[in-house]
Structure 1
Amino acid sequence: MSTGQPNPFPRLLADIGGTNARFALETAPGVLEDIDVLPCKDYPTLVDAIRSYLERAATRAVHHAAIGIANPVTGDYVQMTNHHWAFSIEATRQALGFATLLLLNDFTALAMSLPFLPADELVQVGGGEPRHGAKALIGAGTGLGVSGLLPHGGGWVAIAGEGGHVAFAPGNEEEVALWRYAQRRFGEHVSAERFLSGPGLELIYDALAEADGEAAGQLPAAAISERGLSGSCPRCVQTLALFCGMLGNAAANLAVTLGAVGGVYIGGGIVPRFGELFAQSPFRARFEAKGRFRDYTRALPVYVIHSAYPALTGVQAALREHLGERDA
């Protein structure tokens, strides 16, 4: 909510994921300072994390704040899907003494950053030139985030959705076997996020281990990525290849759903760490494998986002819009 008071600086900006909370102060229009990353597990509540950050930053009073959070925001009460924090937005605003506390889904915030990301922080993986039109966004981290940006009235409107929880669509026999393994473990509904996330890397690895007659639960996601990237573990290499192929399929499904002629953007914490391996992976082949729509997806550019804190840029834009300010 906004009280109609003047809009002083600094403003608090945050990007809250299931693992880390990223904070910054906007000290003047478009100027971000005191960026810090706090582990969510170290704080009992969101209020505790924010207070700790503000004490570290030793800032003067903050009146306006905006937070992107890895969760649906459908009302005043928020219960995080991939972390234990649960809170009332209004009670949090009052506890912190803010005049404004804006909450939005973290991938909605990331989508709002897309028009502002510098070209040198984007790595293109195939396709041609973007056209003016919808932009698609997908990214794997603790969970799977999905959003899009639609042109509207000379500006943009971001989609607030939970596309990571759509049903996983296997594209070959290997993926059918993975789907069956996940269904045995988790029940009838197997979401795309089950595979396309950090825990998803572990799930893929476990399925391959079981198929080889070995026990599951042997490696965490970070180790799977490290050994897969180095090539030191054939099963980890296979895990990353399967992950990238399935992400290509999911990204293409999103692209044709939105008509994303403005390009497809890959965010999240996992894929940017893959570097050149991602460009050489099955991702692009699976992205283009759309039958009668192969020519359509072949033309679409895909960009991997390499900005350090892109969601903070989107949160900044969302707060400016919420306060009725013109673009800086």
Structure 2
Amino acid sequence: MQITCADIGGTHARFALATVAEGGKISLGEVSTFATREHSGFESAQDSFRECCGGTLPDSLALAIAGAVTDGTISFTNNDWSISLDDLRDSHGIERMTIINDFAAIAHSVARADDDHLMHLTGPEQPFAQEGTISVLGPGTGLGVAHLHRDGKGNHRVQATEGGHVNFAPVDEVDDAILAHLRQRHDRVSVERVVSGPAIVDIYQVLAKQSDRDPSDLKDVEIWKRGMAGSDDLAEAAVERFCMVLGSVAGDVALTHGGWGGVAMAGGLGLRLCRTLQSSGFADRFTAKGRFTDLMKTIPVKLVTHPQPGLSGAAAAFCIEHPEACP
């Protein structure tokens, strides 16, 4: 059978057709990616994808979203789209539908991932545990967080969270300065304000101020580009600071979830940062948890390298919710 899969984030909307074969094996067709700012809403982007597929789509939909479902309406945290579930069913002929948080979808993908799609970052070089909790998080336009629990018998359950919106906890004086800087704009500073793609601008500006330098008016994309290329020492320091804070946050998430079975880092930004994370202060910050430092050192941390874990995970969630429709 085929499923229309969509992964809607703050910046991009990704679509693909997923084919579910005997035994539940999922394969994705060609992925179409649309900028959310170039479409008025989900229906517009879906219509563009329908055109790519020759004018028709399957009547089954698996939808991963960076937002929450309330009263039959999906509202997004980092774009201005909204989706009426009734309109989806009525106007698009959807017979079966699964709606899931985008990082819950990624957690489903992690549960099915083989070693080829998991790159070691830090901690012991061992597979994720087959029993226990695995934390899943990743920075992008925002910060997604979820976790999954394995029962040791081949089964798993996924829990979506809004862990990206917990309070930011500074660790040193530079973190203190970042918090003070962000408080000028936000009454409450969540970790998403510090470890998401756009946050690199604020980190860069704080480091510039501390070194009495002109921060210039660089956009986030340019800071990332310069920092990862090593062509701008201030941008490079901002990327290093970002990785350090991400390590702190990842460790806090593992502590909160009891994620002793492993921590999976995901998202497009994580993929671009993979080598940088391995050589940065990420690992030291991840384990620096006082009386729990020794425990943190036992947790394997891996990067999800599957190119589209949100789409494949949405299809996996669909099969769990609608087993009668899947081979």
Secondary structure at 2:310 match in 1: helix
Q: Equivalent residue for 2:221?
A: 222
Q: Contact 1:15/1:311 (CA < 8 Å) preserved in 2? A: yes
Distance in 2, Cα, partners of 1:159 & 1:27: 25
Q: Contact 2:274/2:303 (CA < 8 Å) preserved in 1? A: no
Change (3 A) 1:266 1:294: same
Using the TM superposition, give the Cα deviation of residue 74 of structure 1 relative to its aligned residue in structure 2, in angstroms: 4.0
Q: Give the partner amino acid of 2:132.
A: G
Q: Contact 2:146/2:163 (CA < 8 Å) preserved in 1? A: yes
Q: Equivalent residue for 1:77?
A: 73
Q: Contact 1:72/1:162 (CA < 8 Å) preserved in 2? A: no
Q: Give the partner amino acid of 1:10.
A: Q
- Is residue 246 of structure 2 the alignment partner of residue 247 of structure 1? yes
Distance in 1, Cα, partners of 2:303 & 2:72: 33
Q: Give the partner amino acid of 2:59.
A: H
Q: Give the partner amino acid of 1:249.
A: S
Distance in 1, Cα, partners of 2:20 & 2:162: 33
After TM superposition, list the pairs within 5 Å mapping 1:94-243 onto structure 2.
94-128=90-124, 129=126, 130-131=128-129, 132-152=131-151, 154-187=154-187, 189-213=188-212, 218-243=217-242
Q: Contact 1:24/1:32 (CA < 8 Å) preserved in 2? A: yes
Q: Contact 2:10/2:36 (CA < 8 Å) preserved in 1? A: yes
Q: Contact 1:140/1:271 (CA < 8 Å) preserved in 2? A: yes
Q: Equivalent residue for 2:19?
A: 27
After TM superposition, list the pairs within 5 Å mapping 1:280-291 onto structure 2.
280-291=279-290
Change (3 A) 1:28 1:113: closer
Range moving further from structure 2, 9-18 or 124-133: 124-133
RMSD: 1.8
TM-score of the pair, normalised by structure 2: 0.92
Range moving further from structure 2, 317-326 or 45-54: 317-326
Distance in 2, Cα, partners of 1:82 & 1:60: 29
Which of 35, 41, 52 is 2:48 aligned to?
Answer: 52
Secondary structure at 1:260 match in 2: coil
Secondary structure at 1:125 match in 2: strand
- Is residue 23 of structure 2 the alignment partner of residue 15 of structure 1? no
Give the % identical residues: 34
Distance in 1, Cα, partners of 2:70 & 2:110: 23
Secondary structure at 1:37 match in 2: strand
Using the TM superposition, give the Cα deviation of residue 38 of structure 1 relative to its aligned residue in structure 2, in angstroms: 1.3
Moved over 6 A (4+): none
Distance in 2, Cα, partners of 1:103 & 1:215: 46
Q: Give the partner amino acid of 2:80.
A: H
Using the TM superposition, give the Cα deviation of residue 100 of structure 1 relative to its aligned residue in structure 2, in angstroms: 2.0
Distance in 1, Cα, partners of 2:13 & 2:210: 37
Q: Contact 2:18/2:28 (CA < 8 Å) preserved in 1? A: yes
Q: Contact 1:47/1:96 (CA < 8 Å) preserved in 2? A: no
Which of 57, 60, 65 is 1:64 aligned to?
Answer: 60
Q: Equivalent residue for 2:305?
A: 306
Using the TM superposition, give the Cα deviation of residue 121 of structure 1 relative to its aligned residue in structure 2, in angstroms: 2.1
Unmatched segments (≥5 aa) in structure 2: none
Q: Give the partner amino acid of 2:227.
A: G
Deviations 1:171-222 (A, max 9, x none): 11110111011011222x1000001101111121122233445566712222
